Structure 1
């Protein structure tokens, strides 16, 4: 083989490796029930057991309402070190009444209302002291235990 061919072959292989490292990785998360099975669920007819048989267990059950089942499915695409981008999301909400019968079946695209956290802060004791005050503030102070022991010795 020609000696000039080796560096070209080496750099070609390295370029191929670098380019292949930039291919997108697609992640599928959650569980998407079959839409035909979802269509079989009618409010007031099926109960939780029948829903489990039809479409399986939910992705999650609402934290504060055990009668709300969520079936969530999300597809994300990520390229190398960039932030993953959501390419698809689907959400089925199934709500049950107090007797366990289906009350509502709702399909959403998963892009509901954004939840904005409250920005209020609970003050902590000692937050009004500066950094230096918190470091040097205890010099010269005696603990309550030492003061009580000294009083007992004096008595």
Structure 2
């Protein structure tokens, strides 16, 4: 009699623990990524007075550098929500751009959030290339008999 009560309580406990695990797996998770400088530290970047090496000491290493059109540093931060197997949703994104002049001094500082962002539509076309279209079997058996036996 006690064994059947004990086994029933273990089964009930197992069901409760299993249900708790299933419910907790469906809760959303948040992740914060990047480097968002403190507004007080951004106020220290006076255009024309602060050099790039000082910016690195004040704000830290930038997330990205510009490759064209002058020297700019980007500090990018975002907060993302993950929910089970669904695509992640970006809740907040902030980009701070620090532009330098040719002498290396700060020219201006601009802060943008996800309200100023734009979605970029990528083109799905492909560029044709010269050559042959090789089938699957040609890829597998194409080299048979092409080995140099002299070596």
Query: Which TM-score band (shorter chain)?
Result: 0.7 to 0.9
Number of matched pairs? 132
Task: State the distance in 1 between where 2:49 and 2:120 align.
Answer: 33
Unaligned runs of 5+ in 2: 139-151
Task: State the distance in 2 between where 1:118 and 1:44 align.
Answer: 41
Q: Choose the corresponding residue for 1:122, options 106, 119, 127.
A: 127
Task: State the distance in 2 between where 1:88 and 1:81 align.
Answer: 20
Matched, 1:78 2:82: yes
Give structure 1 regions of 4+ aligned residues with deviation exceeding 6 angstroms.
Answer: none
Equivalent residue number for residue 14 of structure 1:
18
Three-state SS of the structure 2 residue aligned to 1:37 is helix
Equivalent residue number for residue 31 of structure 1:
35
Task: State the distance in 2 between where 1:45 and 1:91 align.
Answer: 22
Task: State the distance in 2 between where 1:7 and 1:119 align.
Answer: 54
Three-state SS of the structure 2 residue aligned to 1:28 is strand
Cα distance, 1:79 vs. partner?
A: 1.8
Matched, 1:62 2:66: yes
Task: Return the TM-score normalized by structure 2.
Answer: 0.75
Cα distance, 1:11 vs. partner?
A: 1.0
Task: State the distance in 2 between where 1:121 and 1:45 align.
Answer: 48
Go from structure 1 to structure 2 and tell me whether the alpha carbon gap of 1:120 and 1:8 turns closer, same or farther (over 3 Å shift): closer
Three-state SS of the structure 2 residue aligned to 1:116 is coil
Task: State the distance in 2 between where 1:42 and 1:20 align.
Answer: 48
Unaligned runs of 5+ in 1: 136-155
Task: State the distance in 2 between where 1:91 and 1:45 align.
Answer: 22
Equivalent residue number for residue 144 of structure 1:
none
Three-state SS of the structure 2 residue aligned to 1:4 is helix
- 1:69-101 Cα shifts (integer Å, max 9, x gaps): 000001111122111111111110000011111
| C-alpha RMSD over aligned residues | 2.4
